């Protein structure tokens, strides 16, 4: 192989590593969203200018009741992340969505905005290593995911079911961030 061919292959390979990141960051707790936004900015600051971040704050009906003005809420929630993203020349989209089906909303948003990375933020009160370990142990004993989920309380079963369904249906690179007293 000629030296020029070797050099071209190396350059092409490096270009592949530097392709834009179009990330979807999903979360329900403000602290988790801010942590993921800061993490994403650190991850993509060396990427080309065409990278983008879509921030999707999924809330339930109870959380929605406490939001008086969505624009003010979004401004307070996303201001730090937007400033950092703009400094890194990232395109940023922000959404607050009341959701009954997190998995469908995440998959739909990732598809709609052509994302190639999904980051899912979960609070440690909702999803933790002991819960995951218990689920895996129950699943191993029962050999059926549904039977294992039935042995957990409703909130834990719902959380695990959502995460496993998202991982099974989503064909994109996916990261799960468990917020456990994150400090910036």
8, part of any domain: yes
Q: Is residue 165 part of a domain?
A: no
Residue 98 confidence (pLDDT): 93
Residue given tokens 């936004």 in the structure block: 37
As separate numbers, helices (DSSP H) first and strands (DSSP E) second, the chain gives: 8, 5
Question: Residue 7 is part of a domain; what is its CATH number?
Answer: 3.40.50
Q: Does 184 fall in a domain? A: no
Six-digit token string for 182: 């994150």
Domain that holds residue 95: 3-124+173-179
The answer to the question of residue 159 being in a domain is: no
Evaluate whether residue 17 is within a structural domain.
Answer: yes
CB 159 within 8 A of CB 122: yes
Structural domains counted in the chain: 1
In a domain? residue 104: yes
The reported pLDDT for the residue numbered 18 is: 63
Q: Is residue 52 part of a domain?
A: yes
Smallest CA-to-CA distance from 26 within 128, 130, 104 is with: 104
Q: Which tokens belong to 64?
A: 């929605």
What is the residue-level pLDDT of the chain in tens, covering all 184 positions?
565 455 445 544 555 556 788 999 999 888 888 888 888 877 777 665 678 889 999 998 898 998 888 888 888 888 888 887 777 778 889 999 999 899 999 999 999 999 999 999 987 777 767 777 776 676 666 655 666 666 667 777 777 778 878 888 989 988 888 877 766 5
pLDDT of residue 6: 59
Question: Is residue 131 assigned to a domain?
Answer: no
């Amino acid at each position: 192989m000629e030296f020029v061919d070797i050099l071209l292959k190396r350059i092409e390979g490096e270009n592949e590593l530097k392709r834009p990141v179009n990330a979807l960051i999903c979360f329900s707790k403000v602290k988790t969203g801010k942590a993921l936004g800061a993490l994403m900015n650190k991850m993509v600051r060396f990427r080309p200018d065409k990278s983008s971040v879509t921030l999707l704050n999924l809330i339930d009906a109870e959380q929605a009741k406490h939001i008086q003005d969505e624009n003010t809420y979004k401004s307070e929630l996303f201001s730090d992340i937007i400033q950092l993203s703009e400094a890194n020349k990232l395109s940023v989209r922000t959404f607050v969505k009341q959701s009954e089906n997190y998995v469908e909303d995440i998959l739909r948003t990732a598809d709609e905005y052509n994302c190639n990375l999904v980051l899912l933020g979960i609070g440690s009160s909702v999803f933790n290593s002991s819960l995951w370990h218990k689920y895996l142990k129950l699943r191993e004993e029962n050999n059926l995911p549904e039977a294992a989920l039935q042995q957990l309380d409703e909130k834990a079963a719902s959380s695990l079911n959502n995460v496993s369904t998202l991982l099974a249906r989503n064909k994109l690179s996916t990261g799960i961030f468990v917020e456990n007293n994150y400090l910036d």
